[in-house]
Amino acid sequence: MKKQYILIGLSLYISLFIYLFYRTERTIVNEIVIGLISKATYTNLKATIAHSLPLNDVMIYSLPGGLWTFCITLTSKPYYIDLNRWRIDCVYIPLIFCCSLEMLQLIHLTNGRFDFMDIVFFVSFWLLGRSDSSGCIEKRHILTTLNSETILCLVSYSIVYLAHVLK
């Protein structure tokens, strides 16, 4: 389980780094940082880092979503939810969620631009997270026990809000 926490933390830090220094300052996470350190400091820091470590568009626009998919897949693996008479394995929810968000972009119901490469990254990182066998345990209902693992799982889903672009 400790290996999973390290992978999750590293993935989220890489995604945060990319969002902070390569994506628009209009994302919620960047607005928070600007509020904490000032726009001038943020702009200078962003320019310095982006110049010192250039990244290609795939790393900037597709990798963070793939890493996030990996994280929520790892945190969702031990759980299921009951929906009427169906028991749904939560390991499938990240893939459905991510691909659904991308489809909503395709039909312009949400902010952002549809990118097939994002789907490639979602599926690849979902498969990677799903195949990780560390911590294989018996599945349990996500809402029956509130502990650090279930909180991490639910918080992992909510992180997508920080990537939202303000208008």
Domain segments of the chain: what residues?
2-163
Tens digits of residue pLDDT in 68-79: 999 999 999 999
Tens digits of residue pLDDT in 42-75: 999 999 999 999 999 999 999 999 999 999 999 9
Dist CA 135 CA 100 (whole Å): 28
β-sheet with 79-83: strand ranges across: 86-89, 79-83, 140-141
Which one-letter DSSP state was computed for residue 106? H
Q: What is the pLDDT of residue 3?
A: 86
Tens digits of residue pLDDT in 89-141: 999 999 999 999 999 999 999 888 899 999 999 999 999 999 966 555 789 99
Q: What is the pLDDT of residue 161?
A: 84
The residue type of 164 is: H
Dist CA 8 CA 2 (whole Å): 10
Dist CA 25 CA 46 (whole Å): 10
Residue with tokens 């394995």: 89
Dist CA 142 CA 131 (whole Å): 20
CA dihedral 60, 6, 95, 64 (to 10 degrees): -10
Model confidence pTM above 0.85: yes
**Helices 39-52 & 2-22 angle (0-180, nearest 10):** 110
Confidence band for 165, pLDDT divided at 50, 70 and 90: confident
Q: What is the pLDDT of residue 27?
A: 92
Q: What is the pLDDT of residue 118?
A: 96
Q: What is the pLDDT of residue 2?
A: 81
